[in-house]
Structure 1
Amino acid sequence: MGTASNKSPGNLSAIDIKVGRVLYTTLDMTALLTALAPLHASYLFRWSGALGPMWGPLLTHCVLSFPVVLLSAFAVCVAVGRISHDLYMEKRQLAIAVGAFGIISMAVWLGYQYGSTHRSCQGMLVSAGYSGLSALVIKLLVGYQEDLDAAAAFKAHQKELKDGNAETDQHVQTHKRQSHKLRFIPTIACICLAITALYTDRTCDTGVVAYDSSIKDLTNYKMLFREESTTGWVTVVDERDRGLRFMRSGHSLIGGHWLRTSESIFGIFYYADAVRMIKHRKSNPVSKQKRMHELQPQGWSQKLSRQAFIGDGTERALIIGLGVGITARSFYEQNVRVDVVEIDQAVYDAAVQYFGLPRKLNSVNIMDGRLFIDEAHTGTYDYVVHDVFTGGSVPASLFSQSAIMQLKRILKPDGVLAMNYVGVPNDKRTLSHVARTIGTAFPFMRCFAETTKDLDAMANIMFFASAKHVLFDITSDVLRAMGKTSLRSRVLATMLDNELNISEFIHNSTIQPITDDWNPLSDWQVDTAIQHWQAMREILPTAYWLNY
């Protein structure tokens, strides 16, 4: 008898009402915390920057993310516990449950579709709306059940109580209905907070925003382009004092140029031009000038000219990782057919609009670089320029042995790979494994650092690899033809002096190549990522990172 009474309709209804109250209260708290997140973030980011790249994000997530996760997990546990308590329900209850599930599922699907293109502020507000909508549905169901129970109770008592007592009971029911309306205050508050954040918080504005004139550190910067995309916030900014323009993606500066000369602010990008200056290749300007002079001794001067750098239109280059397009533009101007692979559409758009990237490249592929090289045709390219560093690390999958083998496959037999790796030159562990991995596919390789003045500091390191000898023909005539005052000529003039000795690593069988199954690069690059974070905070003021 006790068991039967415990599962009577009245007891189950009371349990459902209590569970419903717990659920919608929890979901209301989740919705309010999520809707407040963009407003709280602007304050937390200041502490995050002061605490550094390790403790700062932990503080931010402890305040913004962890409470929401715990509340959501608690709501799931309560719901699962109620379902497991009684697996049988009436048809009407089943229909209501299915309908509620359908509404919530539709909200999740719409939120995903919208949030997939709006990844930070709008995504959080969509999540807040989803939690608030779920709470609202549960409130309506609980209220409906309470009204049914109240009506049944009133009819039962009406037969037993006098009219005066019944009237008093009616006043009690009226008071309860009025108190039920207070349940919708959190829903209204969530909507108001979301609208406030959407129109007042800078991170919720996906376009160009004016700098805050009250912040002195921002008056030196002019925002030209700002868009949230696959790799984070992509911005293009002019720095007035130094006369330069740069592109930022996430927490990295992925390139820039001087406004007066349109030359790259990072000299390492000109190392890639050296792939066309290798001896015995038809693209080598010295060899080309000699051949022209032999064919037409009267019509061609032995003095090297800029014309010697122009290709015949048959060479093809693949560039994985566009940046601001320095290498792509240089190859295009040398009449090389350029295919670009870039994972972020916003980076490509900004490079075209603000850095002079030609629109008439051979092809532009907005996709993952590993997927592209796996599907590319064999023996297609004369050159592959591989530069995918961002955010303090490189995508490890593009540095595995199988990825390098695929790069060799899509190169022509005498093709050249130029691979930029960002790390510490004296980090023999990482450097040896990267060099060994490349060496499993290419018998000949050379490696050059951006600078050798401080081998313990983070620097760009360019690997050149080929199936044939990599001997550069960077002569004084070549540099003179480029123009002595150009940054390209100055960088290439010192490149050979910055060579790193990696001969002990290339064919050393005791060094394990990096594979898809064994790829420790992500773990090994933690220190590099921290150094990179600190370097970015020194290059640009904290106010820039907080406001843009």
Structure 2
Amino acid sequence: MAKPKSQKREANVSNASPPLTQENFEKELKELAKKAKEETFFNHAVDWVGTTVRAVVILALAAASSSVSQLTLSPVYGAIPASIWHDKLVNAACFLGWSGSFWLRRNVRWRLIDLLPLIAFYIPAVQYFLFNYSNTFGATYGPLITELLTVAPLLLFSASAVGLVLEEFGITGKWQSVPGIASFVFLKITSAWSANVIQSTSYKSVLLSRVSWQVQLAASYALLAPSKLLLYAVPALLHTAIFNAHAQTPWATQALNSSLQAEGYRLIARQDSNTGYISVLESVSNQFRVLRCDHSLLGGVWTMDQSHNPVVGEPVYAIFTMLEAVRLIEAPVSVPDSEAHALVIGAGIGTSPGALMAHGINTTIVEIDPVVLEYAVKYFDLAPNHHAVIDDAVHYAAQVANDTTQRYDYIIHDVFTGGAEPIALFTDEFLRNLHRALKPDGVIAINYASDLLQPSTHLIIRTVLAIFPSCRIYRETATPTAAELLAAGQDFTNMVLFCRARSDAAITFREPVERDFLRSGARKAYLVPKHEILRGQFDLEDMRDVLRANDTATLEETQRKSAVGHWNVMRTVVPGKVWELW
């Protein structure tokens, strides 16, 4: 029933402001004074600090999540292919999130910050599903598709949440864009820093592995923004804990081996480390064992019984035995093996250093990754009687170059990571330090894997020849025909450059004798280099055009192409499903 008009008037009167009397006026002034007193500078400062801390925490978690996303993609796509689209995707997600924060707040029914832990918990499960299609997606677009459906939404909503949080500052006018710019700069700096910290410490504990980091970051988001929405994250968390084979738990490893058996493989050991995901795999059907680093193979040995009883393991890949031919290079004055000293840059599975030690050569191995060296000794029978240096090769080479008491008869330069060689280890500065580390009659073997059709390959060859004029270059396999090159669209191969330190004499190899082969069938077949690449095949017109440490950007684009080519090659060596399972 409608109220009478008299009652409506009474209601309006009762809801109206009290009459303006002297008493009410003084009371209102006292209340305003009390409120003004409470809103002191200290209170404002506390509010500002609280707002800033919330924004910083969201950005720090987003930056770490971005870094971990790259690490989890690397075993399936390789570090370099995984990075092709990453920065562009991060920039786009942050821009769209920041600029669309108000639209999202109006059109999304939940608080944006409450969605962050939910997205973070589902990232490992979605990645696990998408990795099954890596062969279909390919190395170029696979990482893009995967991150579009995983870390990109997390970054977008994080940027939006930060935008809404910083709105509390009430900054307007010409300073309005400062919080956004400052937030983006902080995100990029923190992302670079966290990537280094996470990868450099990952080998210390299973709790610091890639999937463990994903779970811990999601849990941190949950602590930041607890809500009932977290109940929807339970299925994702259970999947990661029980069914995700990438989680390095005993039951996950057991499940992984069950899946690998269907492909004819088994996992022997695995661990995250400072250069990537390291694992030892064995092909049960083909009887060989390989050492994996992300989406690359660092070497392999045959595991079947050998009637000829080789002194060291029988290598699967010819290139590693060819490097040992550095001993066969004829010198003005030959040095007995027992008196020779060798430096090996990059341990791999220990094929080359193991052979040098078997010949009685005093051998120093420089390896940046402690897990690689540990696995080489434990699973590939690398003799422990070597001098191991766990260090960055650039730092060690500079140190040795300045130490006149350390000079080597042989140097083997054999490095590979992320689908391509580290650029820093092929610069003019690094190679000059290796040159200084050689004795006057010393020799060096440099392994370089690349597409011979790329200009970057010619740049590397010019850089080596500018320092070591007396060189011969050999490829692992025979030169492909014109039809094969046209079909492949590339000429990707492993090559070895054999060079003298100071002599202008041509490189010649002595005839090997039986003891050089170490009772190894692979060495009898591949120790002596066969497929020479003549210098005329390279662009050597301007020998001053070399790769320098402060100008490596020219190589990055071609290195990306080379890494994609290497990814395709690796998918023919080991089945795609094995790479996907890691």
The answer to whether the superposition gives a TM-score over 0.5 is yes
Where do residues 269-418 of structure 1 align in structure 2 (5 Å cutoff)? 269-280=320-331, 282-283=333-334, 311-312=337-338, 314-361=339-386, 363-376=387-400, 377-378=403-404, 379-418=406-445
Distance 1:528 1:506 in 2: 18
SS in 2 for 1:453: coil
Where do residues 46-445 of structure 1 align in structure 2 (5 Å cutoff)? 46-84=132-170, 116-117=201-202, 118-136=208-226, 184-187=227-230, 190=233, 193-194=236-237, 196-205=239-248, 209-210=253-254, 218-259=262-303, 260-261=305-306, 262-280=313-331, 282-283=333-334, 311-312=337-338, 314-361=339-386, 363-376=387-400, 377-378=403-404, 379-425=406-452, 427=453, 429-445=455-471
1:450 alignment partner in structure 2: 476
1:95 alignment partner in structure 2: none
Query: Are residue 518 (structure 1) and residue 566 (structure 2) matched?
Result: no
Listed one character per residue, the Cα deviations across residues 216-268 of structure 1 (whole Å, up to 9, x for unaligned) are 87351121111122232211111122211111110011100111342110111
Listed one character per residue, the Cα deviations across residues 464-504 of structure 1 (whole Å, up to 9, x for unaligned) are 122123533332x52586378621122134x1x31111268
SS in 2 for 1:130: helix
Does the 8 Å CA contact 1:423/1:528 hold for their aligned counterparts?
A: yes
1:41 alignment partner in structure 2: 127
- Return 5+ residue gaps in structure 1 as ranges: 87-104, 137-183, 289-310
**Which segment drifts farther, 258-267 or 243-252?**
258-267
**Which segment drifts farther, 466-475 or 324-333?**
466-475
Does the 8 Å CA contact 2:280/2:289 hold for their aligned counterparts?
A: yes
1:146 alignment partner in structure 2: none
Query: Are residue 529 (structure 1) and residue 563 (structure 2) matched?
Result: yes
Distance 2:265 2:199 in 1: 32
Distance 2:299 2:199 in 1: 30
Among residues 490, 497, 500, which one is paired with 2:525 in the alignment? 490
Distance 1:387 1:481 in 2: 20
Distance 1:47 1:128 in 2: 25
Does the 8 Å CA contact 2:200/2:273 hold for their aligned counterparts?
A: no
Does the 8 Å CA contact 1:246/1:253 hold for their aligned counterparts?
A: yes
Among residues 468, 471, 474, which one is paired with 2:510 in the alignment? 474
Does the 8 Å CA contact 1:430/1:521 hold for their aligned counterparts?
A: yes
2:179 alignment partner in structure 1: none
Counterparts in 2 of 1:509 and 1:538: CA distance versus 1, 3 Å: closer
Does the 8 Å CA contact 1:449/1:462 hold for their aligned counterparts?
A: yes
CA-CA distance at 1:199 after TM superposition: 3.8
Counterparts in 2 of 1:319 and 1:74: CA distance versus 1, 3 Å: same
TM-score w.r.t. length of structure 2? 0.68
Does the 8 Å CA contact 1:439/1:506 hold for their aligned counterparts?
A: no
Does the 8 Å CA contact 1:433/1:505 hold for their aligned counterparts?
A: no
1:26 alignment partner in structure 2: 112
Does the 8 Å CA contact 1:27/1:75 hold for their aligned counterparts?
A: yes
Distance 2:246 2:532 in 1: 43
Distance 1:405 1:18 in 2: 53
Aligned residue pair count: 443
SS in 2 for 1:32: helix
CA-CA distance at 1:119 after TM superposition: 4.4
Listed one character per residue, the Cα deviations across residues 433-462 of structure 1 (whole Å, up to 9, x for unaligned) are 112111222231111111223174311110
Distance 1:18 1:234 in 2: 41
Counterparts in 2 of 1:213 and 1:444: CA distance versus 1, 3 Å: closer
Listed one character per residue, the Cα deviations across residues 362-419 of structure 1 (whole Å, up to 9, x for unaligned) are x212222112212223452222111112332111011111111111122222221211
**Which segment drifts farther, 377-386 or 47-56?**
377-386
Return the letter of the residue paired with 2:410: Y
Distance 2:351 2:239 in 1: 41
Distance 2:355 2:444 in 1: 17
1:169 alignment partner in structure 2: none
Distance 1:27 1:197 in 2: 23
Distance 1:332 1:517 in 2: 36
Return the letter of the residue paired with 2:356: F
Bigger RCO of structures 1 and 2 (CA < 8 A, at least 6 apart): 2
Does the 8 Å CA contact 2:476/2:495 hold for their aligned counterparts?
A: yes
Counterparts in 2 of 1:250 and 1:360: CA distance versus 1, 3 Å: same
Does the 8 Å CA contact 1:48/1:59 hold for their aligned counterparts?
A: no
Return the letter of the residue paired with 1:532: H
The sequence identity of aligned pairs, in percent, is: 25
1:543 alignment partner in structure 2: 577
Counterparts in 2 of 1:33 and 1:235: CA distance versus 1, 3 Å: same
Distance 2:514 2:527 in 1: 8
Distance 1:196 1:188 in 2: 14
Distance 1:238 1:40 in 2: 28
Return the letter of the residue paired with 1:413: P
